[in-house]
Amino acid sequence: MRAPLDLAAVEAMDAADPLRAMRERFILPEGVIYLDGNSLGAAAPAVFNELQKAATQEWAQDLIRAWNTAGWFDMPVALGDQLGRLIGAAAGQTVVCDTTSINIYKVLHAALAMRPDRSVIVAEGDSFPTDLYMAEGVASTRPGTVLRLEGVDAPDIEDLIDERVAVILVNHVNYKSGQLRDMAALTCKAHQVGALIIWDLCHTAGALPVELDSANADFAIGCTYKYLNGGPGAPAFIYAAKRHHDKVQQPLSGWWGHARPFAFEQGYVAGSGIRRFLCGTQPVLSMRALKGALDVWDDVDMAAVRKKSIALTDLFIQLVEGRCGAYGLELEGPRDGKQRGSQVSFLHAHGYQVMRALIERGVIGDFRAPSTIRFGFTPLYVGYKDVWQAVEVLEDILRTGAWQDARFAVKTAVT
């Protein structure tokens, strides 16, 4: 049984934290404990510096010349390599572009085209909805393609993988529960039957070490506005293992993916390498904002990030269950820190109202229907004292019944 913690012990954890100085690289509003970085990361001054330079100098002064002088045209690949370090990808295998949904569409089509004699897509029934929506859309364009779902067609995804499967689309971390999958083991299982696998890293990139190359992954997609702090609507990314580059064909054959984009030829000829996944002109200002966000990570040790993530989430679970356990909360995700991402979810019959009350008191998490209250812990700017104070507020809301206030029953969007 763990010894009871007090505030002094928690403050000592902050004092010994090797990442504590990283907090100064972010803008955190006064009076707010931000536990929703798994939905939208906090802003960093480095992001605004990049935006200011791109807008007032490169765009305003250099005008169209900036495509060359400021390297705008090459940013998708340059940023991809910078991001690749955080997901275990060697240079030339990651490109920043478009949105997560669009990238899922491109990569699913590419994988299916590489397995023309197969017609099954495997995914999770409790996947983030856009993954399933895009998989359904891809299947609708390919007669005979079947979508098998974990939790619907079989209890476990491994039970759905056989020689008829072309591609598996799977989340590394479940967006609701925080459950972490074994990337190397599931990738190996897919390859044993000749299937390809696409890893969704939306709730992984920037939260914990990822080793795409070491796991022998085929493809990955993900967003950059959560733990990577690229800003609302920041461009997404695609990873494709180098061994597949010469075989990749994706359906959105826009001019940026052309082998000779400035030749203005009538017929499409795919470019080389990871550039094959590019489509149209990319949002330069958003790309430059992302550069500022990624620069923050240049000297960050991902092993230290993971260690702190587990410590923060372990502490949160311990405090919530010790102080709020009598108020109807039930842990939804894994108890073992090694089996979860950087988030903790609890079930509560009135979770929506509880989260509304928390947000009003300055503790920002989020709600996922029907009854999940979810808290994301970004190790670069969340401290152990933040955890202590957040649980104090949660306990007070539950003990006093403050969540029952009529204002919190109105179902408006929870951020």
Catalytic residue set: 128, 200, 225-226, 374
CA 227 to chain CA centroid, Å, is 7
Cα three-residue angle 256-257-262, rounded to 5 degrees: 50
Cβ atoms within 10 Å of 315's Cβ, excluding its own: 20
* Nearest-angstrom CA–CA distance, 376 and 309: 10
Cα three-residue angle 372-375-379, rounded to 5 degrees: 160
β-strands 343-347, 372-376 pairing = antiparallel
* Nearest-angstrom CA–CA distance, 386 and 376: 12
In 3D space, the residue among 210, 146, 202, 142 whose CA is nearest the CA of residue 178 turns out to be 202
What strands lie across the sheet with 219-222, from one edge to the other?
94-96, 237-240, 219-222, 196-200, 165-171, 120-124, 146-150
Phi, psi of 278 (to 5 degrees): -75, 155
